[in-house]
Structure 1
Amino acid sequence: MTHILAIDQGTTSSRALLFDRDLRPVRIAQEEFPQLFPASGWVEHDPEAIWATTLATAKKALDGLAPGEIAALGITNQRETTLVWDRDTGRPIHNAIVWQDRRTASFCETLAHEGWGEAVADRTGLLLDPYFSGTKLAWLLDNMEGAREAAEAGQLLFGTVDSFLIWRLTEGRVHATDATNAARTMLYDIRRGVWDEEICARLCVPMSMLPEVRDCAGDFGTTALLGGRLAVRGVAGDQQAATLGQACFQPGMMKSTYGTGCFALLNTGTDFVRSRNRLLTTIAYRLDGEVTYALEGSIFVAGAVVQWLRDGLHLIGKAAETQGLAEAADAAQDVVLVPAFTGLGAPYWDAEARGAMFGLTRATGPAEMARAALESVAFQTRDLYEAMRRDWPGAQEAVLRVDGGMTASDWTMQRIADLLAAPVDRPRVRETTALGAAWLAGVASGVAPGPAGFAETWALERRFTPEMDAGERRRRLGLWDDAVRRTLSRPAST
């Protein structure tokens, strides 16, 4: 058994990566699928498109290999995206409601007025926000004809994308999730490690719908759909998988992943840290029944801002062009973009905020707008980094490990280091999300080293160190803070 297959099911595409026994990526297959926007603030995916692209890319990655050459399969996935399907047929009752979707904002406000905010934060580590799965699930049950009756009769199943893929891969034999995905539903008590009966009751969610919660490295059944019988042995939400892929096993280690959004996780070990700065407390991973916690900051728009430049404004033809434009931008112009296209995430959590650009002049052109777009990611990363440092003393001297598509931009990584006034480390293997899933599958099947051995394989490709002087840093951060203040739909609570 010389290879491990990792399925990386993301927000805009499905990918399958084949790793060799030394956990080096040797083959990648990728297919994009459509994003659906049925109403303002609503974001959906066709579940059959998710399944079809996942299956197709997995088969492409495995092409030419015999079943006996694959040790195991690992899955990592876009988190919080919510699906409900029929127990007998496996057919979803509606499109998947994506993590970016804001349709349940008013319901979250109702729950807050009822006083549920403290209980939700204390048990689940999360805030009352449309981002999470629980209110999305409640919406589906309330708005799909006959759904609530079918759910109460035990006919419907709920799952995040990982559960849906496991169900399909095992042909309906396994309805399960892992602790990291369960932790993002707003239905799971991450202190006790159980689905919370009271929260489920308030959201009118029958507990018979919920999947079994398992360790990240464990037995999730087998599939015969990819040739032979292939064991599914590792599952983690994409940001937790990236945390593992970055070998952030020690408390105080921090990583930030730049995909469609940006997500920073700080390992806090066995400490359940209640944030005072509107960060999330979550499960970093669960191995051998032992939970490791993390503080997380979530940015809704990172790589998506480059997609906006390309597909919305048509200022660029491909993402790589932003690097040259940013370098050529007029340094005398202070153009600031707040990319609150679907609201602002941590530490503001303003679902009603919308994007705005400040400092435009007649001389502003594509270069200045591209620089502002890239710099918005650095500004938002700084907000998360500072909130984590205020919340947990162990983060004071943290080096930020980065991964994801945007890390290819040296300009962006340097600007992040400048605004953080801290080092930023880019690893040699940048496919850290898939790597984390592959490692989980490998360690569960006995072909990969444990955490300590795996951490020794992490290799640095480049360290970005701060170059901006303190005065300019303060000035630019002041511009950003003022722009955010003017963008928020309500006064900031931070």
Structure 2
Amino acid sequence: MRTLTRLVILAIDQGTTGTTCLVVDESLRPVGRGYREITQHFPRPGWVEHDPEEIWRSVEDGAREALDDAGIAASELRAIGIANQRETTIVWERRAGRPVGPAIVWQDRRTAARCAELPAELVRERTGLVPDPYFSATKLEWLLRRCDVPQTELAFGTVDAWLVWKLTGGSTHATDLTNASRTMLLDLASGEWDDELLGAFGVERSILPSVVASSGVVAEGTLLGASVPIAGIAGDQQAALFGQGCHAAGQAKVTYGTGTFVLVNLGETTGPVGEGVLRTAVAVTPGAPRQMAAEGAVLVGGAALEWLRDGLGLIGDAAESERLAAEVESTEGVHFVPALTGLGSPQWRPDARGLITGLTRGTNRAHVVRAALEAIAHQVADVVDALPLRLDLLRADGGATANRFLMQFQADLLGSEVHVSAESEATALGAAALAGLGVGVWRGPAEVRRLIPAGTSYEPRMRHDEAAALRTAWRSALARAL
């Protein structure tokens, strides 16, 4: 085993479809990678579940692969940073560390009826969110009502808290502010769990993790037999915002993953964020003032391409979609509204259903695949249109940024520049940067920003009237899904 002192941080990005682990050096450069897919369970229409123990195994296996790829041992790491799929809800027994049920995934819609009963104004004012099955509170309530173990013997957490628990052998039960802000249980202004909301969902304080900062040593973890500080935690989208260098007000990023998420750093402002747009906490470094972000959450992004692949067999893999989209000059009037798990921002309609419109005898799979890619871009444009400020530049990361058709079409619809990250794994890099700052590898965000390499830029090419006509046709199709 060779010793390379520049290999300092292990970043764990535990996502919806799998876990990516990166070993990065002090130049924030990935030097080792590992990946493990996790199984998606769909026990009923609208239900989405994961196995919490499989999530943990994927982290161990992905970390082992990344360390092997880098050629180092876990004992040589300076710190661990965690980014995670947010809102996904896990409840486990404190003494045994055994989950009492499945992890209910953020995409899950089983609590839609319960959300319709909630006081929307209170939820929005207190948490910055909207009453929707997307968030953790109603998932937690659902699990607790079906568990016969007293809450005093249970622990609740989003995926980050579960991983911290597993890494520390159950000695630390903690979540960071960005993940806590996605539970619908946190008073966003104070950063504390809210008693009124806890009472509304029947949640006792004893089940909750402590809320910690996103950067700084939380605990000593044990990974693959080595003791390593856990020094950075953030929800995946906030980690990507940090990893893209969006550390100042007005800077924005979009991450193309299973879902697609637009975040705009608002700084310390507490003003309105726009109809259908969320307010959420930003990952900040020790000593920095708290910041907020406006967020638009598109529930089905890359998942639409996964459905075309796995559900309909129209493509062999996501990469094929770019070639097929280029085979036709347009969708010939075909529109795909991928409301496969309802609609998120800015509509927030869990009852919406997906549809494909405009089919004719001349329609082929290229038209449908192109319509799916265009739908991803249209949904991002819907969010940007709802924001309280104009964006001249949108930073992009995630797997779909490799699709040049999608990136160019996105720039055309927005009428603004789309800058693609040189490293598609900006989420993992954000987790690594937060952890590195937490143990003093870097002195501050400015030093991190200087390490972020330049990527590829896409300038709008389409005439404004052409883009406007496409947007009008999209809104017509969208109205049918509602």
The two structures have a TM-score, normalised by structure 2, of: 0.96
The one-letter amino acid of 1:135's match is T
Helix, strand or coil: the match of 1:353? coil
The one-letter amino acid of 1:16's match is C
Q: Which residue of 2 aligns with 1:427?
A: 421
Q: CA deviation at 1:396?
A: 1.8
Helix, strand or coil: the match of 1:235? strand
Q: Which residue of 2 aligns with 1:487?
A: 481
Between stretches 36-45 and 57-66, larger displacement belongs to 57-66
Between stretches 412-421 and 450-459, larger displacement belongs to 450-459
Q: Which residue of 1 aligns with 2:379?
A: 380
In the alignment, does 2:362 pair up with 1:363?
A: yes
Q: Which residue of 2 aligns with 1:476?
A: 470
Q: CA deviation at 1:67?
A: 4.3
In the alignment, does 2:267 pair up with 1:269?
A: yes
Name the % identity. 47
Helix, strand or coil: the match of 1:220? strand
- Unaligned ranges ≥5, structure 2: none
In the alignment, does 2:441 pair up with 1:450?
A: no
**Cα distance between partner residues in 1 of 2:42 and 2:214:** 32
Select which of 63, 67, 70 maps to 1:62.
67
The one-letter amino acid of 1:182's match is A
Q: Which residue of 2 aligns with 1:52?
A: 57
Deviation string, structure 1 residues 299-356 (Cα, Å, up to 9, x no partner): 0111111111111111111111110100112437111110000000000000000001
**Cα distance between partner residues in 2 of 1:47 and 1:396:** 40
Deviation string, structure 1 residues 256-292 (Cα, Å, up to 9, x no partner): 0000000000000001233331100000124326311
Select which of 45, 49, 69 maps to 1:40.
45
Q: Which residue of 2 aligns with 1:222?
A: 220
**Cα distance between partner residues in 2 of 1:406 and 1:52:** 26
The one-letter amino acid of 1:202's match is A
Give me the CA root mean square deviation.
1.2
The one-letter amino acid of 1:23's match is L
| 1:475/1:284 CA distance change after superposition, 3 Å | same
The one-letter amino acid of 1:419's match is L
**Cα distance between partner residues in 1 of 2:228 and 2:309:** 39
| 1:36/1:332 CA distance change after superposition, 3 Å | closer
In the alignment, does 2:125 pair up with 1:131?
A: no
**Cα distance between partner residues in 2 of 1:35 and 1:332:** 31
Checking the alignment, whether the CA contact within 8 Å between 1:15 and 1:29 is kept in structure 2 is yes
Q: CA deviation at 1:446?
A: 0.8
Q: Which residue of 1 aligns with 2:31?
A: 26
In the alignment, does 2:79 pair up with 1:79?
A: no
Q: Which residue of 2 aligns with 1:100?
A: 107
**Cα distance between partner residues in 2 of 1:98 and 1:18:** 27
Checking the alignment, whether the CA contact within 8 Å between 2:81 and 2:432 is kept in structure 1 is yes
Between stretches 328-337 and 121-130, larger displacement belongs to 328-337
Aligned positions of 1:8-19 closer than 5 A: 8-19=13-24
Select which of 377, 388, 398 maps to 1:404.
398
Checking the alignment, whether the CA contact within 8 Å between 2:93 and 2:100 is kept in structure 1 is yes
Helix, strand or coil: the match of 2:300? coil
| 1:126/1:456 CA distance change after superposition, 3 Å | same
The one-letter amino acid of 2:95's match is D
Helix, strand or coil: the match of 1:346? coil
Q: Which residue of 2 aligns with 1:162?
A: 160
The one-letter amino acid of 1:101's match is D
- Show structure 1 runs of 4+ deviating over 6 A: none
Q: CA deviation at 1:224?
A: 2.4
The one-letter amino acid of 2:214's match is C
Q: CA deviation at 1:70?
A: 1.0
The two structures have a TM-score, normalised by structure 1, of: 0.94
Helix, strand or coil: the match of 1:460? coil
Helix, strand or coil: the match of 2:216? coil
**Cα distance between partner residues in 2 of 1:273 and 1:132:** 22
Q: Which residue of 1 aligns with 2:250?
A: 252
Deviation string, structure 1 residues 142-168 (Cα, Å, up to 9, x no partner): 123x14xx10xx100100000000000
The one-letter amino acid of 1:8's match is D
Deviation string, structure 1 residues 65-106 (Cα, Å, up to 9, x no partner): 244521100000000000000010100000000000011111
**Cα distance between partner residues in 2 of 1:274 and 1:136:** 28
Checking the alignment, whether the CA contact within 8 Å between 1:254 and 1:398 is kept in structure 2 is no
Checking the alignment, whether the CA contact within 8 Å between 1:179 and 1:286 is kept in structure 2 is no
**Cα distance between partner residues in 2 of 1:163 and 1:328:** 46
Q: CA deviation at 1:228?
A: 2.3
**Cα distance between partner residues in 1 of 2:206 and 2:407:** 46
Q: Which residue of 2 aligns with 1:492?
A: none
**Cα distance between partner residues in 2 of 1:459 and 1:246:** 10
**Cα distance between partner residues in 2 of 1:159 and 1:250:** 29
Checking the alignment, whether the CA contact within 8 Å between 1:273 and 1:281 is kept in structure 2 is no
Checking the alignment, whether the CA contact within 8 Å between 2:28 and 2:451 is kept in structure 1 is no
Checking the alignment, whether the CA contact within 8 Å between 1:28 and 1:61 is kept in structure 2 is yes
Deviation string, structure 1 residues 428-469 (Cα, Å, up to 9, x no partner): 122100000000110111112411121122232211011111
Between stretches 62-71 and 21-30, larger displacement belongs to 62-71
The one-letter amino acid of 1:405's match is G
Checking the alignment, whether the CA contact within 8 Å between 2:346 and 2:386 is kept in structure 1 is yes
Q: CA deviation at 1:122?
A: 1.0
Q: CA deviation at 1:118?
A: 1.3
**Cα distance between partner residues in 2 of 1:396 and 1:302:** 23
**Cα distance between partner residues in 2 of 1:356 and 1:66:** 50
**Cα distance between partner residues in 2 of 1:223 and 1:339:** 40
Checking the alignment, whether the CA contact within 8 Å between 1:272 and 1:281 is kept in structure 2 is no
Q: Which residue of 2 aligns with 1:298?
A: 297
Select which of 1, 6, 9 maps to 2:11.
6
**Cα distance between partner residues in 1 of 2:374 and 2:140:** 35
Checking the alignment, whether the CA contact within 8 Å between 1:282 and 1:296 is kept in structure 2 is yes
Aligned positions of 1:186-225 closer than 5 A: 186-225=184-223
